[in-house]
Amino acid sequence: MARAMLVVFMPFACGYFFSYFYRTVNAVVAPYLRQDIGLGPADLGLMSAAYFLTFAAFQIPLGLLLDRYGPRRVQGSLYGVAAVGALMFAMGDSVTTLILARAMIGFGVSGGLMAALKAIVMWFPLHRVAVINGWYLAFGGLGALAATGPVDIAMQIMDWRAMFMVLAAVTLVVAALILMVVPERPNSAATGSLVSQIKEIGQIYRDPYFWRIVPLMFTCASTYLAVQGLWAGPWLLEVDGFSQDDTATHLTIMAVGMIVGVMGSGLFAAVLQRLGFDMAGVCGFAGAFSILGMLFLVSNIVPSSYLLWGYIGLVVALTALVFAALSHHFPVSQAARANTAANVLVFGMAFAYQWGIGWVIEQWPMGADGSYPKIAYLWAFLAVTATQVIAFIWFIWPTEGRRKAHR
């Protein structure tokens, strides 16, 4: 296992660190982009969203490629595309160029999690998958943290173009590392024709087990992506009335909570399994704790504080256990397709939630100070929380198909 950690886990983990770094770095470099390129808010939003669009769009083809050709060749090649995208971003001088570069980066890092989950299933004992997945996800949290304060400091000694050139070089090194260091696993590729592989995706989407756990997990995870990626800041500023510095500190605490959550997710799963719960039951507890965090937030039972936002980051991170659950249920040859089938729903709903929250808020008039009333945010966040509650009811509701699957 020690060798697998060195030659399999670490190369993919380094890539995932930068995947999350790319995902969040625009929040810091946005003022410099607006100043140098003249981007307006709409242009900034479209440019940032281009990462998620290509990321989500490639998930299903990604699963096919990973199961057919393995994570080493697929993700090593994709990170090469991300490196080219970062270099294009560094040299970009127009909105169109930056959007295209950002889309290439999103495409290139789209397998950062899925490829590693496939590799972990291939190289580590099944009973260790949840623990190893948690350690791996922690590298993403570290990448998100590195894209905040450290980037702000880096901007004092270099401009954003130089930083993206450095990122392009480092990403290319990671791509080479994966291609040259990660070994192949014999007899792990999917068998059969491409047509049969595609048909198996349909089987995954028809599986009762998949539709029992995935809706609960993707509503919770998508909420976190929408809130962490955009709406937590306005909530803290306009609803709670915190200063910009206090808001940044709360967001940092939420990110730290996420790191703690993913690192502890394996222990969380192990404890519940020892108590007699299967991985579906573990996912149910994770979803329940996540919903509780949102209810604490919107009900104001627990005043907004470092503790509350840290809890939200911690418990929502547990929703990543859905991938371990799917890895237990589906054979190794279908693992990547099962995970990407779930992941495309996560990112698709994240788009819907992030746009939907804004749409609901805009139904109220803007105040003289340019902010929206607290009630607007409450209704928007309540609407999202309601979808989580509905998904939880669906999770616990007995059906004939689930009873047959259990038998």
* Angle formed at CA 319 by CA 18 and CA 355, multiple of 5 degrees: 70
Per-residue pLDDT, 407: 47
Domain identity same for 11 and 55? yes
Contacts of 306 (CB under 8 A, 6+ apart): 249, 250, 253
Q: Is the dihedral of CA 171, 173, 178, 179 positive or negative?
A: positive
Domain identity same for 232 and 110? no
Contact present, 218 and 345 (Cβ < 8 Å): yes
Domain identity same for 173 and 196? no
As a whole number of angstroms, the distance between CA 254 and CA 249 comes to 9
Domain identity same for 165 and 293? no
Tokens 């981007």 label which residue?
A: 39
Domain identity same for 105 and 236? no
Per-residue pLDDT, 366: 80
Contact present, 110 and 62 (Cβ < 8 Å): yes
Per-residue pLDDT, 189: 52
- Nearest Cα neighbor of 223 from 287, 146, 301, 145 is 287
Domain identity same for 177 and 254? no
Which of 142, 163, 189 is the C-terminal boundary of a domain?
189
As a whole number of angstroms, the distance between CA 74 and CA 67 comes to 10
As a whole number of angstroms, the distance between CA 8 and CA 126 comes to 16
Number of neighbouring beta carbons within 10 Å of residue 14 = 19
Give 137-166 as a DSSP string: HHHHHHHHHHTTHHHHHHTTTS-HHHHHHH
Domain identity same for 351 and 377? yes
CA distance readout (Å), 102 to 225, 299, 325 = 18, 38, 32
Distance from CA of residue 374 to its chain's centroid?
Answer: 28
Domain identity same for 143 and 64? yes
Domain extent, residue 75, equals: 1-189
Distance from CA of residue 71 to its chain's centroid?
Answer: 18
CATH number of the domain at 295, please. Answer: 1.20.1250.20
Domain identity same for 245 and 100? no
Which of 161, 189, 217 is the C-terminal boundary of a domain?
189
pTM: 0.74
Distance from CA of residue 224 to its chain's centroid?
Answer: 9
- On the CB side of 406, CA atoms within 13 Å amount to 11
Per-residue pLDDT, 220: 92
Q: Is the dihedral of CA 183, 188, 191, 197 positive or negative?
A: negative
* Angle formed at CA 111 by CA 56 and CA 253, multiple of 5 degrees: 80
Domain identity same for 278 and 150? no
Domain identity same for 185 and 201? no
**What is the total count of domains within the chain?**
2
Domain identity same for 168 and 290? no
Which of 189, 214, 237 is the C-terminal boundary of a domain?
189
Mean pLDDT by 10 residues, the chain (407 residues): 84 91 77 76 67 84 84 93 96 90 92 86 80 84 80 85 95 94 69 69 88 90 80 83 82 85 85 92 94 91 86 87 84 78 84 80 82 89 95 84 50
The type of residue at 101 is A
Per-residue pLDDT, 399: 65
